[in-house]
Chain A
Amino acid sequence: MTALIDLVNITKYYGRFRALDDVSLQIHSGITGLLGPNGAGKTTLIKVLLGLVRTTSGHGRLLDFELGHQNREIRAHVGYMPEDDCYLHGMTGVECVQFVAQLSRFPAVEALRRAHEILDFCGLAQERYRTVETYSTGMRQKLRFAQAIVHDPPVLILDEPTSGLDPEERQVMLNRILVLARDHGKAVLLCTHILPDVQSISDAVVILARGRIQVADTMVELNRPTTPSVEVRLMGDSDRFVETIRGRGIAANLQSNGGILLQGIPDHLATHVWQAASACGVGVRSLTPSRNSLEEIFLSAVREGGSRD
């Protein structure tokens, strides 16, 4: 599968500060979460993709366009939702969206039609006729999202799209992103600090730390534990169950969350679990193949990035 974004050995210095260090990365269609602590280089990476800063070395491609050489074409094909709460003073929501659509080369009437259509999709109803200064955080977030997608770009770069939203609004925003990715075939680069957002909708994850790529893989691969295991939850005496299962030569650890982690191939373990539970007189509440948590992956990647320096 051809990568939509392909970066090769990208390095970027601001003066003597190295913001990106030999970044090579391929991003395919679907939703890719871009994670990293503050100062990791996420914003610089986005600016490189948008041609807002020049790279010190390395080269790359976005769709069929060379980074740094075909910025105009790249910008026509990318929708960017910046993190900053920036809006155009004195304009109504619909005028703001129409204006940026016009800047994306749509005639005024078509730009207005698109603005209304996108604001409907984003859930800005009658508020669209109010000046943007009067908008709440959630409304501004929707407006920024609408401005990013009004020109129907195949690639979306969303910087903190759910920050400042209440849980319900956050879920609605994530659903919108999912709809765009799944139903409209958009490639989405989702830059956020909210790990559950990435965990819930991303197909792949990239973790940056200190300007370097620490992790770049699909969610399926990242979730797969290094040694196969299952997590068992019981109703009854867990200690006796652990002793029984260990007696069968299976490594078992009681976890702080009350679950029991058993190492081994899930299909093979299931029979032992049912037999041991029956022998101990406990009920099995759940038996699920265990997964790596994104938080653990993130923390370990960031620690690794820090320790290399």
Chain B
Amino acid sequence: MIGNVGAVFLFEWKRSLTLPRMAWWLVLAGFPVFIVGLIRFGVDSAHPNAETDRAPRELWIGFLFALIPMLISMLGTMLWVTPAISAELERRSWVYLTVRPNGGVAVLLGKYMAAVTWVIPPALIGLLAGIILCRVSNGWQIWWALATMVCLSTPAYAAIYLFLGTVMPRRGMVLAVGYSLLFELVIGFVPALINKLTVHHHLQALLLLWCEMDIPPEFMQGAVALMGNTPEWEHLAFLLMYPPVLLTAAVAVLRASEFSSSAESDV
């Protein structure tokens, strides 16, 4: 089984070394750098003679957080793993892969691993370049904190999107976009128990705990209301639980499903 997953993982990596995929890799790495660079340029142009940075440190950290452990991790994994099954169904290669012992599960887990290892490097490179452009104090500490978040959020988001793509392969992308907008962006900000189910909530809590943000007391009250007083280990446990739980669920769904491509729908 491990050998099968390894074979799919290597195969997917080999397949990803094409020009379009490499271009997409560069876009993932370059997008946050471009946005942060644009803001940096705007701030510097508005205050050319300022001795200190006019944009507060918390603003830069907030931008980097929203762009990298959130957006890049979400977008990269969504485009990679959501069509894990539907792409093979469309290429009609699904049947080839599933008629091997544990073939379907190997495809699922191999693609998951390939997606996670493919998305993390551009996110970390983009983060490094972004930190340099921001010129925030304690840059390395911020890089380390956000990089850890990338390593937590990418496997979690990949597991979520893989699960959604397995539950509904034909409409997986719609489901994934709907989930991201509704759950991660809306419900993640709702101060209720349900927000604990979002990756966003736990990442936000870790951001406050790890990045020594200097937040005004009136905002801090709101943040505590949103985050609660949950200890750090609980946030970490939640984020680490996503991949095993959702991958197990995806495998169970896969085993219970009868996927067929349109061409195979012949009786």
Contacts and interface: CB of A to CB of B under 8 A. Distances in A.
Contacts of A89: 15, 91
Interface residues of A, number: 41
A54 B159 CA distance: 27
Interface in A159-212: 211
B4 A90 contact: no
A5 interface: no
Contacts of B7: 99, 102-103, 108
A75 interface: yes
Nearest to B95: A82
A296 interface: no
B3 interface: yes
B263 A103 contact: no
B258 A53 contact: yes
A236 interface: no
Contact of A43 (B93, B96, B102, B266): B266
Given A14-B267, A86-B93, A105-B4, A75 B261 contact: no
B18 interface: yes
Contacts of B96: 82, 86, 88, 100, 147
A84 B3 contact: no
Contact of A84 (B11, B18, B102, B264): B264
Interface in A54-104: 54, 72-73, 75-76, 78, 80, 82, 84-91, 95, 99-100, 102-104
A90 B7 CA distance: 16
A50 B93 contact: no
Contacts of A107: 3
Given A52-B98, A75-B100, A80-B99, A102 B267 contact: no
Given A50-B99, A102-B3, A105-B4, A44 B267 contact: yes
Contacts of B106: 103
Interface string A33-50: 000001111111001001
A19 interface: yes
**Which residue of B14, B15, B95, B98 has the most chain A CB atoms within 10 A of its CB atom?**
B95
A72 B260 CA distance: 18
A84 B101 contact: no
Contacts of B101: 72-73, 75-76, 103-105
Nearest to B96: A86
Contacts of A43: 264, 266-267
A99 B10 CA distance: 10
Interface in B18-74: 18
Nearest to A80: B99
Contacts of A14: 267
Contacts of B91: 86, 88-89
A78 B99 contact: yes
Interface in B214-267: 258, 260-261, 263-264, 266-267
Contact of B267 (A41, A108, A147): A41
A102 B263 CA distance: 26
14 contacts: A39-B266, A42-B267, A43-B264, A52-B258, A82-B95, A88-B11, A88-B91, A89-B15, A95-B14, A99-B7, A100-B100, A102-B7, A103-B8, A107-B3
Given A90-B18, A100-B100, 4 more contacts: A39-B266, A84-B261, A103-B97, A104-B100
